[in-house]
A = this chain, B = another copy of it.
Amino acid sequence: MIGYLEGKILYRQGERIMILAGGVGYEVLLPSVVSASMTKGPGDETGLYIYFHQTEKQPKPVLIGFNSLEEREFFERFISVEAIGPIKAVSALCIPIGEIAAAIENKDSGALRKLKGIGARTADKIIATLRGKMAVFAGEHGGEPAGPAPVEENFHLLVLDVLVNQLGHKAAEAKELINQAIKRNPAISSPEELFDEVYRGETG
């Protein structure tokens, strides 16, 4: 739905910022790393990429803001980890994403445990789910290359990303669809084929 907002900053209070666009003030929640990187204040024009969070249990939309599509994409992968929802991720992103990405690629669970709200178990889940898929975000923090992620893991993530963030499936549900598709057709070797098989399975 809403993926970007640009306009005048009406106010900033801790991790809360309000952007006035077309006469409407939109309240946006900033991960602390994004808030820390923002120098602008009330009266300045700005633009933020938005993750639009709305679920059955919580129909009141929460808008989460990022400086770039890349930051938002990192966030969308981060919340594909079981037990990390968007709200928990907002407080966990308190150091530059490059450092978090490097910690994941380097299996540095200690570094991940320093993120707000991330305990030992969740740190291990993050590494198990995302290792090999975050190097693109590590940048100059480039961790010791975990070696190229096996090809099929990469396109699995791509399809997972579209199923969850574009097509509104829940993360667990989307993973189940992908696993069943691969069981039905292990020879799958591209996102398109995987997509086909996921939907063929859905209806036959």
Q: Does A1 contact B (CB under 8 A)?
A: yes
Min distance, Cβ A136 to any Cβ of chain B, angstroms: 14
User: Does B50 contact A55, Cβ atoms closer than 8 Å?
Assistant: no
Number of interface residues of A (CB under 8 A): 63
Q: Given contacts A1-B61, A2-B27, A24-B26, could you give 13 more A-B pairs where the C-beta distance is less than 8 Å?
A: A1-B26, A2-B26, A3-B25, A21-B24, A25-B50, A52-B60, A54-B60, A56-B57, A56-B59, A87-B168, A91-B196, A116-B196, A118-B200
User: Does B20 contact A60, Cβ atoms closer than 8 Å?
Assistant: no
Copy total for this chain: 4
User: Does A60 contact B4, Cβ atoms closer than 8 Å?
Assistant: no
Q: Does A146 contact B (CB under 8 A)?
A: no
User: Does B91 contact A195, Cβ atoms closer than 8 Å?
Assistant: yes
Give the segment of A6-14, A33-41, A147-155 that binds chain B.
A6-14
User: Does A24 contact B52, Cβ atoms closer than 8 Å?
Assistant: no
User: Does B167 contact A87, Cβ atoms closer than 8 Å?
Assistant: yes
User: Does A21 contact B18, Cβ atoms closer than 8 Å?
Assistant: no
Q: Does A128 contact B (CB under 8 A)?
A: no
Per a CB cutoff under 8 Å, which of B15, B23, B61, B87 touches A5? B23
Q: In chain B, what residue has the closest Cβ to A197?
A: B117
A23 to B57, CA, bound (A): 29
User: Does A121 contact B5, Cβ atoms closer than 8 Å?
Assistant: no
User: Does B54 contact A59, Cβ atoms closer than 8 Å?
Assistant: yes
User: Does A84 contact B203, Cβ atoms closer than 8 Å?
Assistant: yes
Q: Does A62 contact B (CB under 8 A)?
A: yes
Q: In chain B, what residue has the closest Cβ to A18?
A: B3
User: Does B25 contact A62, Cβ atoms closer than 8 Å?
Assistant: no
